[in-house]
């Protein structure tokens, strides 16, 4: 009789009280420092099952409970924000009813239902979030711009990494690591990349120079000879200001490397090793320079790391030395890491 019903409704009376060392089975409770809090893994329904559960159980619920269940099923995200009191008010019921509903849905109490609710909301949101792949347009809100740019650049990176010819990188790295000096040519946006590379190579004790001025670049290229490395960076592959010095260095017998988006471009003719960069589609607001830069930087970073690996003996101390040298350029007081 009443015992029958009681079992149905009042399951596990003392379930939440942690004290009486009830159920020890804890699959992955490794980190339970001192075991004072038994980890409750439980067979509680996951967030996915929650919606279904609500529909299944709804008929067998009392009116007030149904209101709670409905609110929960209808707006998991919103309800997850509410305390037990809040949800009670929203549904025009009492805290006790909310807890009873939670129990009926298979959770030890409202706290756990709320957790599952948050999970459900997150799942729904992630599932509903369609990847923004469209072009950036004039009236995009900033949030979209950020998301689109980030995705585009990620795509560019993935493409570049996939398309990069490892053998060419290997050869380029070997040449650079062994080089007496490394000269890098680049103008415009690529000029910054060339400076970035030169900066980093300098940091590990190599003799590297970035030439942005085309005249000086040619002037210097004349000095190059076997054992030196000349590296040209041009997205279009046909920037004369960059091709020219590379050609000169090439003629002088230096080892030449080209980083370009067009491996069939003119620059490749004078390059011993060609490293191909990938580019995202460009749009009116997003000049090609932007994604080519991302791509170029990745290639340049790979070269740098490669060279650093091969010259580790000298690179490592040089790196830390350059760090220390900069220390006094920082303001002193700052909390410890």
The reply to whether 329 sits near DNA by the rule CB under 7 A is no
The reply to whether 330 sits near DNA by the rule CB under 7 A is no
Backbone angles phi, psi at 8, to 5 degrees: -65, -40
Separation CA 40–CA 24 (nearest Å): 9
Ranges within 20-39 binding DNA (CB under 7 A):
28, 32-33
Binding part of the chain for DNA, among 106-114, 168-176, 222-230, 235-243 by CB under 7 A, reads: 106-114
The reply to whether 188 sits near its own copies by the rule CB under 8 A is yes
Question: In the bound complex, what is the minimum distance in angstroms from residue 1's beta carbon to its own copies?
Answer: 32
Question: In the bound complex, what is the minimum distance in angstroms from residue 18's beta carbon to DNA?
Answer: 6
Site string for its own copies, 190-209 (x = CB under 8 A): --x--xx--xx--x------
The reply to whether 335 sits near DNA by the rule CB under 7 A is yes
Q: Is 253 left (phi over 0), alpha (psi -120 to 50) or beta?
A: left
Question: In the bound complex, what is the minimum distance in angstroms from residue 2's beta carbon to its own copies?
Answer: 34
The residue (of 15 and 289) whose beta carbon lies closer to its own copies is: 289
Q: Yes or no: say if 168 and 275 are a contact pair by the CB < 8 Å rule.
A: yes
The reply to whether 328 sits near DNA by the rule CB under 7 A is no
Ranges within 211-270 binding its own copies (CB under 8 A):
236-241, 243, 262, 265-266
Ranges within 16-75 binding its own copies (CB under 8 A):
28, 31-41, 46-48, 59-60, 62-63, 71, 75
The reply to whether 262 sits near DNA by the rule CB under 7 A is no
* Paired tokens of 144: 């979209």
Largest CA distance in the chain: 102
For residue 165, which of 274, 88, 269, 249 has the smallest C-alpha distance?
274
Class of residue 188 by CB neighbours under 10 A (exposed 0-12, middle 13-18, buried 19+): middle
Q: How many CB atoms lie within 10 A of CB 183?
A: 27
Q: How many CB atoms lie within 10 A of CB 143?
A: 9
Name which of its own copies, DNA, none residue 5 binds, using a CB cut-off of 5 to 8 Å depending on partner kind: DNA
Name which of its own copies, DNA, none residue 252 binds, using a CB cut-off of 5 to 8 Å depending on partner kind: none
Site string for DNA, 71-100 (x = CB under 7 A): ------------xxx------xxxxxxxxx
Does residue 182 sit in helix, strand or coil? strand
Does residue 258 sit in helix, strand or coil? strand
Residues 6+ apart with CB under 8 A from 150: none
Q: Which of 50, 53, 54, 65 binds DNA (CB under 7 A)?
A: 65
Ranges within 87-116 binding its own copies (CB under 8 A):
87, 89-90, 92, 114-116
* Paired tokens of 307: 């060279």
Separation CA 191–CA 64 (nearest Å): 69
Q: What is the CA radius of gyration of the chain?
A: 32
The reply to whether 112 sits near DNA by the rule CB under 7 A is yes
Q: Yes or no: say if 324 and 318 are a contact pair by the CB < 8 Å rule.
A: no
The residue (of 10 and 163) whose beta carbon lies closer to its own copies is: 163
Torsional sign, CA 171, 199, 294, 158:
positive
How many residues lie near DNA (CB under 7 A)? 40
The reply to whether 178 sits near DNA by the rule CB under 7 A is no
Chain residues that interact with DNA, rule: CB under 7 A:
2, 5, 9, 13-19, 28, 32-33, 62-65, 83-85, 92-100, 102, 108-112, 114, 332-333, 335-336
């Amino acid at each position: 009789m009443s015992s029958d019903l009681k079992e149905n409704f009042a399951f596990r009376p003392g379930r939440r009280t942690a004290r009486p060392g009830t159920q020890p089975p804890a699959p992955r409770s490794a980190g339970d420092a001192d075991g004072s809090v038994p980890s409750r893994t439980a067979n509680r329904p996951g967030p996915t099952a929650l919606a279904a559960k609500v529909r299944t159980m709804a008929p067998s619920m009392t009116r007030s409970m149904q209101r709670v269940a409905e609110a929960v099923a209808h707006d998991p995200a919103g309800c997850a924000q509410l305390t037990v009191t809040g949800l009670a008010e929203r549904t025009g019921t009492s805290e006790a009813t909310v807890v009873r509903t939670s129990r009926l849905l298979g959770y030890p109490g409202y706290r756990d239902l709320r957790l599952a609710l948050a999970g459900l909301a997150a799942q729904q949101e992630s599932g509903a979030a369609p990847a923004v792949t469209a072009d950036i347009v004039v009236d995009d809100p900033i949030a979209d711009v950020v998301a689109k740019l980030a995705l585009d650049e990620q795509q560019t990176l993935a493409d570049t990494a996939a398309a990069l010819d490892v053998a060419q990188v290997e050869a380029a790295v070997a040449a650079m690591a062994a080089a007496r000096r490394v000269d890098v040519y680049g103008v415009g946006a690529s000029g910054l990349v060339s400076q970035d590379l030169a900066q980093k190579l300098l940091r590990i004790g190599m003799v590297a120079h970035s030439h942005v001025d085309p005249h000086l670049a040619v002037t210097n290229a004349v000095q190059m000879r076997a054992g030196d490395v000349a590296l040209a960076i041009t997205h279009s592959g046909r920037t004369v200001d960059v091709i020219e010095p590379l050609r000169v260095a090439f003629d002088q017998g230096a080892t030449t490397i080209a980083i370009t988006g067009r491996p069939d471009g003119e620059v490749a003719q004078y390059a011993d090793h060609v490293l191909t960069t990938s580019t995202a589609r460009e749009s009116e607001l997003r000049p090609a320079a932007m994604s080519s830069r991302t791509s170029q930087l990745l290639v340049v970073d790979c070269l740098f790391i490669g060279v650093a690996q091969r010259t580790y003996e000298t690179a490592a101390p040089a790196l830390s030395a350059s760090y220390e040298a900069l220390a006094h350029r920082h303001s002193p007081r700052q909390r410890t890491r």
